[in-house]
Amino acid sequence: MKRRTTTILAAVLAVAAVSTAVLSSLPANAETAAFRVASSWSTGYQAEITVGNPSSSAISTWKVELTLPAGTSVTQAWSSTLTSSGNTYTFTPAAWNGTIAANASTNFGFIVTGTGQPTACLVNGQTCTGTTVPTSSPTTSPSASPSTSTSPPPVNGTPVGINGQLKVCGTKLCNQYGKPIQLRGMSTHGIQWFPGCYTDAGLDALATDWNSDLFRVSMYVQEQGYETDPAGFTTRVNNLVDKAEQRGMYALIDFHILTPGDPMYNLDRAKTFFAQVSARNAAKKNVIYEIANEPNGVSWATIKNYAEQVIPVIRANDPDAVVVVGTRGWSSLGVSEGGSSSEIVANPVNASNVMYTFHFYAASHKDNYRAEVERAAASLPLFVTEFGTVTYTGDGAVDTASSNTWLDLLDRLQISYANWTFSDAGEGSAALKAGTCAGGSFAGTGVLTESGLLMRSRIRTADNFPTS
C-alpha cells in the first residue's frame, strides 16, 4: 500500500513442549490467564501469555511479573513493554492494549534464552496459580522452527478443509481436486502498528462472521518492520499463520516492501525470512507466499531476477506452495508506470506454481486498469493480494460504484483477492471503526466503517468450491 504516512503464567513452564493451560479462577474482578509455548529448542523457547478479564467491568491496566532462575532470561518481547530488575521480568501494556474490556482478553509473547523454569509469577500483584497440561513435541532449532501447532486440522466445512493444498493450473488458482477457485478475504495493516486487531477474537470474526477464506499477513520490512527485529517479526507472522490454520483460513504471508521499491535492496532479508517461514510451515496446507508487495521504480527484469533467487529458497522447504510475485508499478502490472502485462507474458518467472500480483484502489484506478486485468487474465494467473475501496493513498471516500465494478470483474474471472485493511486505522480504507481493536469486539456490523460494511457484504456471500 502507498501509506500516508500477552493471564497469569503457570508456575511451571513446559520448556520443550507445546502447551496450552487455562489457570484456575481468581476472585471476582481479577484477571485470569492462559499460557502457550509456541515453539522450543535446546537453548530456549518462545511463549505467549493471554491476560483475560472475565469480570463484568473493564480493567484499565495490567502487569505480569515473572521471575526466572539465574542463567535464564527473557531476551525479546512483543505486544508489551518489557523491563527487568535482576532475574524478574515485568511485562506491561503496549500503547494499544492496556484496557481490557469485560469478558475480553489481550496477549503478548516473548523469547526465553535458557531452559530454567519460572520460580515466581504475579499478575497485578496477585500470585499466579494453576498448573500446565503439556503436550509433547520434538525439540527444534530456532532457525528452522518447524510448526509445533497441536490444533486439529481444519474441518471439512472450512475453506482449507474443502480445498486443501492449492496449486496453479493454467491461469487459475485451483484446489486439491484441480478445480478453479476464488479466495476472498482481508489483509492486515502493518502488524507492527495494529497487533490488537489480530487477536483470537479478531480472527474469529473474520472466519465465522465474515466467512473469510483468506487472511493476508502484512509484514512490513522497513517502516519499523522486519529489519528492526527479524526474529520477533518472524514469530509474529508464524503465530498468525497458526491462528488462520486453526480457523480453516488460508494465510497469505506478505513480504511488504514499498519504500524502497527495489526488491533487490531486501534480497538477503527475503532469503532469510522465507527460508525460516517455509521450513517452519512446510507441512501446512494453508500457506501462500507473497514475496514482494509493491515493487516500484524498477524494471520487470529486476523483479524477475529477485523472484528467481527467492523462490528456490522456499521450494527447498516447501515444494508445493503457491508463490505470488509482485509486478512493476506498485503491482499494477506496470500500468502505473506506463507499461503493461505484455512484458510479463513475454518473459515470465522461470518457476512453477507462480501467480502474479495486481493491486488497485477503486477511487483512483478505473477503466484502463480493469481493461489491463481483463487482458492479462487470459495469459497470466493473477492474484489481487491488496486493494482498497478508496484512493491509492488508502484514504478518502469509498467509491462504491467502482469497488463493486472491480469486485464483479474479479468474481467473473475467478481472481482471488484480499481487501486493505482489517484494521481501525484512521483512514478510509480501514474496515473497523476507530477504537474497535482496543475494545476487543469484532463481530457484527456495528463496528464497521463504510468500507467494512461493503467488504463484509461481499465476502460473506456463499463460496463456490467445486470438489468434482
pLDDT of 132-144, one tens digit each? 323 333 333 333 3
51 Cβ contact list (under 8 Å, min separation 6): 6, 7, 8, 31, 33, 62, 64, 100, 105, 106, 107, 108, 123
What is each CA distance from 122 to 8, 23, 58, 416, 428, in whole angstroms? 7, 13, 20, 47, 41
**Where are the domain boundaries for CATH 3.20.20.80 in the chain?**
159-459
Residue range 17-135 in CATH 2.60.40.290: yes
Least confident of 16-30, 37-51, 57-71, 384-398: 16-30
Instruction: Describe the chain by its helix, strand, coil percentages, rounded to 5.
Output: 25, 25, 50
Give the separation between CA 149 and CA 242, rounded to whole angstroms: 7
* CA pair distance 367, 409, nearest whole angstrom: 11
Copy the grid coordinates of residue 379. 495469459
Of the pLDDT bands very low, low, confident and very high (cuts 50, 70, 90), residue 280 is very high
Q: What percent of the chain has pLDDT over 70?
A: 84
- Give me the mean pLDDT over the 68-79 stretch: 83
Q: Which residues pair with 167 in a beta bridge?
A: 174
- Higher-confidence residue of 21 and 106: namely 106
Catalytic one among 294, 343, 372, 427?
A: 294
* Residue-level pLDDT at 418: 98
Least confident of 55-59, 255-259, 324-328, 357-361: 55-59
What's the confidence (pLDDT) of residue 208?
93
For the entire predicted model, the pTM comes to 0.71
Interacting residues of 27 by C-beta distance below 8 A, sequence separation 6+: none
Mean residue pLDDT of the chain comes to 85
Strands 17-22 and 134-136: antiparallel
pLDDT for 122:
83
Q: List the beta bridge partners of residue 73.
A: 113
- Choice among 84-98, 330-344, 429-443 with the minimum mean pLDDT: 84-98
Please give the average per-residue pLDDT across 149-167, as a whole number: 75
Decide: 381 and 170 in contact? Cβ < 8 Å: yes
- pLDDT in the model for residue 40: 60
Residues contacting 50, CB < 8 A, separation 6+: 6, 7, 33, 34, 35, 36, 105, 106, 107
Distances (CA, A) of 45 to 17, 42, 73, 76, 114: 9, 8, 11, 11, 8
- The sign of the torsion formed by the CA atoms of 411, 413, 415, 420 equals negative
Looking at 36-40, 74-78, 441-445, 455-459, which range is the least confident one? Answer: 36-40
**pLDDT number for residue 53:** 78
**Separation between Cα atoms, residue 394 and residue 35, nearest integer Å:** 37
Contact in structure between 153 and 176 (CB atoms under 8 Å): no
DSSP H stretches of helix in 286-391: 300-315, 328-331, 342-346, 367-376
Give the distance, in angstroms, between the CA of residue 19 and the centroid of all CA atoms in the same chain. 22
**Rounded distance between C-alpha atoms, residue 215 and residue 191, angstroms:** 13
Give residue 232's pLDDT: 92
415-454 burial, b for 16+ CB within 10 Å, e for fewer? bbbbbbbbbbbebbbbbbeeebbbbbebeeeebbbebbeb
d(CA 424, CA 422): 7
Cell numbers for 250: 488460508
- pLDDT value at residue 223: 94
386 is catalytic: yes
Quote the radius of gyration of the chain (alpha carbons, Å).
Answer: 22
- Residues contacting 152, CB < 8 A, separation 6+: none
Catalytic residue among 48, 245, 290, 386: 386
Look at residue 207 and tell me whether its pLDDT is greater than 60: yes
pLDDT for the residue numbered 141: 32
Q: CATH 2.60.40.290 in the chain, residues?
A: 17-135
In 3-state terms, what secondary structure has residue 210?
A: coil
Residue 148: pLDDT band by 50, 70, 90 thresholds?
A: very low
Least confident of 114-118, 241-245, 410-414: 114-118
Residue 43 pLDDT > 50, yes or no?
A: yes
- pLDDT tens column, 405-464: 999 999 999 999 999 999 999 999 999 999 999 999 998 999 999 999 999 999 999 998
Segment 367-387 mean pLDDT: 97
For domain 159-459, give the CATH superfamily. Answer: Glycosidases (3.20.20.80)
Residue 294 bears catalytic tag = yes
Residue 372 has pLDDT above 90, yes or no: yes
The half-sphere exposure of 374 on its side-chain side, counting CA atoms within 13 A, is 12
pLDDT of residue 37: 65
Question: Span 51-74, mean pLDDT?
Answer: 86
Query: Nearest to residue 368, comparing CAs of 398, 346, 407, 338?
Result: 338
3-state secondary structure 53-107: ECCCCCECCCCEEEECCCCCEEEEEECCEEEEECCEEEEECCCCCCCECCCEEEE
- Residue pair 322/173 in contact by the 8 Å Cβ criterion: yes
